[in-house]
Every structure is written in C-alpha cells, then in structure tokens.
Structure 1
Amino acid sequence: MESSSISMDLVQFMGKLGDLKDEHYHMTLALSAIIELLIDKGLITRQELEHKTAELDQLMAGSPYPMA
C-alpha cells in the first residue's frame, strides 16, 4: 500500500514540475516581448539592457549572507 502512495506522490510531483516549466516558459516569453517592445520604441537600448543585466548579475553573484 505504501508503494502505491509513493508512486502517486511522484506522479503529483512530476505534474507540478511540468506546470512550473510551462509557467516559466510563458513568463519568459512575456518578459522577452516586453523587452523587445521597449527597445523597438526607443525607450531603452540593447547596450543599456546588457549593462543593467551585468550589474544585477554581479549583485546576485555575491553571497546573500555577510561574512564576519
């Protein structure tokens, strides 16, 4: 009986993972469309976007916990 319960948990987990992947794809697509529209309208440049992305990436690369 426990084996069937573990199997159902695994099936539910895989279903949730599939839903997250689908949601991630749609969010990424929407973000890409917004970025392209901002660039097309001349509100930002690709260089500004690349600079800001690199800046934020550097901030995130550091440890979130201060070192004593």
Structure 2
Amino acid sequence: MESFSTSIDLVQFIGKLGDLKDEHYHMTLTLSAIIELLIEKGLISRQELERKTTELDQLMIGSPYPMA
C-alpha cells in the first residue's frame, strides 16, 4: 500500500474498484439477458453457444501472437 501517496488516494482507488465491479456486474447481466433472448427466439442454440465459447477459450489459451 506504500504506492499510494495519501490515504485519500487509497480511498479513491478503492472507490474506483467498487465502480468497476458494479459496471462489470451490469455488463454481465445485460449480456446474459441478450443470450437468453437469442436462445428463446431460436436464433442460436445452447449447444452452438457452448461450442463457440469453447472455441474462443481455446484461442485465448495459446500465445497472443500468431506463429508463422
């Protein structure tokens, strides 16, 4: 915690972190609602969604830089 010059800086940092957590929650909730609506309307299936998330997850496991 020595990197914060004052207690006020620390309080402001903690406040910003709280704001980010709240924003993350709302974005996740919105994304979940959109996914559920797409599935309900038959535009995508849960299996397609699971397949695509697995595919994208596998891309993230490797190096961020393509190997030539």
Taking structure 2 as the reference length, the TM-score comes to 0.87
Structure 1 segments, 4+ long, off by >3 Å, are: none
2:39 is matched with which residue? Answer: 39
Paired AA for residue 49 in structure 1: L
Paired AA for residue 18 in structure 1: G
Aligned-pair identity in percent equals 86
Query: Which one has a larger percent helix, Structure 1 or Structure 2?
Result: 1
Gaps of 5+ in 1: none
Q: RMSD value over aligned CA atoms?
A: 1.5
Aligned length: 64
CA deviations 1:31-50 (Å, max 9, x no partner) are 00000000000000000000
**Bigger Rg over Cα:** 1
Gaps of 5+ in 2: none
